[in-house]
Amino acid sequence: MRFFWASSVKAFRDFSPCDLRRVHFRASWGIRATTVLYQHSRPFFYQTQTGDSTDMATKEGKSNKLSFQLKTPKGTRDWIGIDMVLRESIFSAITEVFKRHGGTQLDTPVFELKEILAGKYGEDSRLIYDLADQGGEDCALRYDLTVPLARWLAMNSSVQHIKRYQIAKVYRRDQPAVAKGRMREFYQCDFDIAGSYDAMIPDAEVLRIIVEVFEALDMRDYITIKLNHRKILDGLFTACGVPEDQIRSISSAVDKLDKLPWDQVKLEMEEKGLKSEVADKVGEYVRRNGGREILDFIKADGLLCANEHIKKGIEDMELLFGYLEAFEVFDKVSFDLSLARGLDYYTGLIYEVVTPLSTPEGFANAQKKTKSKSKSDDPNVGVGSIAAGGRYDDLVNMFSKKRQIPCVGVSFGVDRIFTIMKQRLEKEAEEGNATVRSSEVDVFVMAFGGKGFNGLLIERMSVANQLWKAGIKSEFAPSVKPKLPQQFKLAEAGGVPLAVILGEDELAAGKVKIKELGLPEGHPEKEGYLISRDDLVEEIKKKLSKPALPIR
């Protein structure tokens, strides 16, 4: 069982990241293995789910007379097995896209000086993990990856242009909601373009990158990118008569339009002190979304296009739309005047990627539907945001007055993406249209013999060694004198496709037997065949290059 799992863990670790079909395929085998596991060792997998599910730990704890619970800290978890493999495959797919666009990796320390983080996150600052005083510097665990980037850009004034990406854990002392995938330690996955370029060119590339990422994850058909422009939004509020000092609070009310009906949003506005008729005027505009027609509408509206900010915003959006068509991603965006985004530091284009897949119903529907473009008129869209970002031209300036470097970027919510992918894989596994190959080991070296058989351990070791030297992933039974059936069981448990079988007489004649495992009865090579040991590596490589190998 353990072996079955241990090897299931290794499933599809060697995947070409963008080949997600293949990942799904193998993943479902892995999931199979996991399912089996659940029956045999629930505590194990249960435990790996989160630091909060401690019943098993407690049990152990008691039986051990340990003074403390054996568990991971609240809101954290261990990653291993199929979850780890799936997470890694998502990261590789994303990294592949980042590199295709010339991305450069940055790795910053897990903690920063407290002052660096101070005053960047508003009231959420209470969620920052401080380190105990280390006699000197006050430090805190990073809360996101954007502020460390800004700190780095401020420190390194020689950097004028960079496309940087970072995939790393961030920390928030939030109330964990494991089911929703809200943890205290979780991954963020950011791509940002810093530097002065001609207007909207990097913005368009970031949107192109978003679409390529979800294409690599086989989710392109299920996402919509909601777009808006801070200059248009704020200008619109001003034009409607929203007092300057109320703009951000009204803005946050409007942001809820994707979850609440208009009259509730209006109510909130009025409670925030906005005149009813002003609210209605705002409502006429912010309830609109679509494509170019929104631009035409604004341009045709005397009130709006009189506003300088809006004029600038319209110019940007017109440039952008042209670029998005060249990048063939225009069909994925929805110009949504109600999109506001929480963070204050955005200064231009803002966006949010939504998908129906993040709700059970949405997921079910999406599976039923033949792949359909899910535009924002889809009732499900807007329920879950799985990536978001925008342009922030002034953040670096907060650290270094000398330094003004415009930035635009996106952050992928990999935990939500992970949840969706896992759901999907489990579904594939249920459908069981894939058989389980739970190991990436290619060759199992075994031995057999008659009376007085000594196990040929040394010989198995040196054959395994011969294969390792050739870079071939190989294992052998870790015991001196294993029975042949036992060795086959290990190989099959790992779904290893090839066996190299050693026998005393064959070895004496300088030969070994190669056997493809899982061949159908009556197959000419069912019983395997002998080859000279000198040809072993070459023969194995030939066999492994054939995609025809049976998948177990």
Measuring CA to CA, how many Å separate 25 from each of 15, 18, 20, 112, 432? 11, 13, 8, 41, 10
Q: By CB under 8 A, what part of segment 350-369 binds a copy of itself?
A: none
Rounded CA-CA distance 339/285 in Å is 12
Residue among 139 and 254 whose Cβ is closer to a copy of itself = 139
Rounded CA-CA distance 418/180 in Å is 11
- Shortest distance, position 39 Cβ to a copy of itself, whole Å: 11
Rounded CA-CA distance 530/533 in Å is 9
Residue among 94 and 472 whose Cβ is closer to a copy of itself = 472
182 lies in the site for a copy of itself, by CB under 8 A: no
Residue among 193 and 294 whose Cβ is closer to a copy of itself = 193
Place of tokens 């492994």: 544
Contact criterion met (CB below 8 Å) for 502 and 479: no
Rounded CA-CA distance 552/550 in Å is 6
List the x/- string, 250-269, binding to a copy of itself by CB under 8 A: --------------------
Residue among 162 and 304 whose Cβ is closer to a copy of itself = 162
345 lies in the site for a copy of itself, by CB under 8 A: no
Q: By CB under 8 A, what part of segment 457-476 binds a copy of itself?
A: 457-459, 461-462, 465, 468-469, 471-475
Q: Contact with a copy of itself (CB under 8 A): which of 22, 49, 55, 109?
A: 109
533 lies in the site for a copy of itself, by CB under 8 A: no
Q: Please classify residue 412 by burial: count the beta carbons closer than 10 Å to its beta carbon, then call 0-12 exposed, 13-18 middle and 19+ buried.
A: buried
Contacts (Cβ under 8 Å, ≥6 apart) of 521: none
541 lies in the site for a copy of itself, by CB under 8 A: no
| Closest C-alpha to 388, from 127, 161, 169, 144 | 144
Q: Contact with a copy of itself (CB under 8 A): which of 212, 268, 316, 378?
A: 212
**DSSP assignment of 274-314:** --HHHHHHHHHHHT-EESHHHHHHHHH-HHHHTSHHHHHHH
Residue among 96 and 301 whose Cβ is closer to a copy of itself = 96
Radius of gyration of the chain (CA): 29
- Shortest distance, position 131 Cβ to a copy of itself, whole Å: 6
Q: By CB under 8 A, what part of segment 399-458 binds a copy of itself?
A: 399-402, 439-441, 457-458
Q: What 3-state class would DSSP assign to 166?
A: strand
Residue among 63 and 433 whose Cβ is closer to a copy of itself = 63
Measuring CA to CA, how many Å separate 332 from each of 75, 127, 259? 34, 34, 21
Residue among 70 and 267 whose Cβ is closer to a copy of itself = 70
Which residue stretch of 1-9, 375-383, 418-426, 516-524 sits at the interface with a copy of itself (rule: CB under 8 A)?
1-9
Beta pairing class for 474-476 and 443-448: parallel
Q: By CB under 8 A, what part of segment 46-85 binds a copy of itself?
A: 47-48, 51, 56-57, 60, 63-74, 76-81, 84-85
18 lies in the site for a copy of itself, by CB under 8 A: yes
Residue among 85 and 317 whose Cβ is closer to a copy of itself = 85
Q: Contact with a copy of itself (CB under 8 A): which of 91, 121, 182, 197?
A: 197
Q: By CB under 8 A, what part of segment 122-151 binds a copy of itself?
A: 129-134, 136-137, 139, 141, 151
- Shortest distance, position 299 Cβ to a copy of itself, whole Å: 21
Which residue stretch of 296-304, 349-357, 394-402, 405-413 sits at the interface with a copy of itself (rule: CB under 8 A)?
394-402
DSSP state of 520: P
Contacts (Cβ under 8 Å, ≥6 apart) of 403: 153, 154, 157, 396, 397
Which residue stretch of 45-53, 284-292, 500-508, 524-532 sits at the interface with a copy of itself (rule: CB under 8 A)?
45-53
Q: Please classify residue 549 by burial: count the beta carbons closer than 10 Å to its beta carbon, then call 0-12 exposed, 13-18 middle and 19+ buried.
A: middle
Place of tokens 């390529």: 212
Tokens coding 489: 């069981």
Which residue stretch of 226-234, 285-293, 477-485, 503-511 sits at the interface with a copy of itself (rule: CB under 8 A)?
477-485
- Shortest distance, position 9 Cβ to a copy of itself, whole Å: 4
198 lies in the site for a copy of itself, by CB under 8 A: yes
Q: By CB under 8 A, what part of segment 282-301 binds a copy of itself?
A: none
- Shortest distance, position 400 Cβ to a copy of itself, whole Å: 5
Tokens coding 191: 């791509």
Residue count at the site for a copy of itself (CB under 8 A)?
122
35 lies in the site for a copy of itself, by CB under 8 A: no
Contacts (Cβ under 8 Å, ≥6 apart) of 359: 380, 383, 384
Residue among 323 and 448 whose Cβ is closer to a copy of itself = 323
Contact criterion met (CB below 8 Å) for 279 and 271: no
Q: Phi and psi for 504 in degrees, rounded to 5?
A: -55, -50
- Shortest distance, position 459 Cβ to a copy of itself, whole Å: 8
21 lies in the site for a copy of itself, by CB under 8 A: no
Q: By CB under 8 A, what part of segment 148-177 binds a copy of itself?
A: 151-152, 154-164, 169, 173
Contact criterion met (CB below 8 Å) for 400 and 2: no
Which residue stretch of 37-45, 220-228, 278-286, 427-435 sits at the interface with a copy of itself (rule: CB under 8 A)?
37-45
- Shortest distance, position 26 Cβ to a copy of itself, whole Å: 15
Q: Phi and psi for 327 in degrees, rounded to 5?
A: -85, 0
Q: Contact with a copy of itself (CB under 8 A): which of 22, 49, 55, 102?
A: 102
Residue among 112 and 378 whose Cβ is closer to a copy of itself = 112
Q: Please classify residue 501 by burial: count the beta carbons closer than 10 Å to its beta carbon, then call 0-12 exposed, 13-18 middle and 19+ buried.
A: buried
- Shortest distance, position 484 Cβ to a copy of itself, whole Å: 17
Q: Please classify residue 60 by burial: count the beta carbons closer than 10 Å to its beta carbon, then call 0-12 exposed, 13-18 middle and 19+ buried.
A: middle
Tokens coding 524: 């000419």
Dihedral sign of CA atoms 180, 184, 186, 191 in order: positive
- Shortest distance, position 438 Cβ to a copy of itself, whole Å: 11
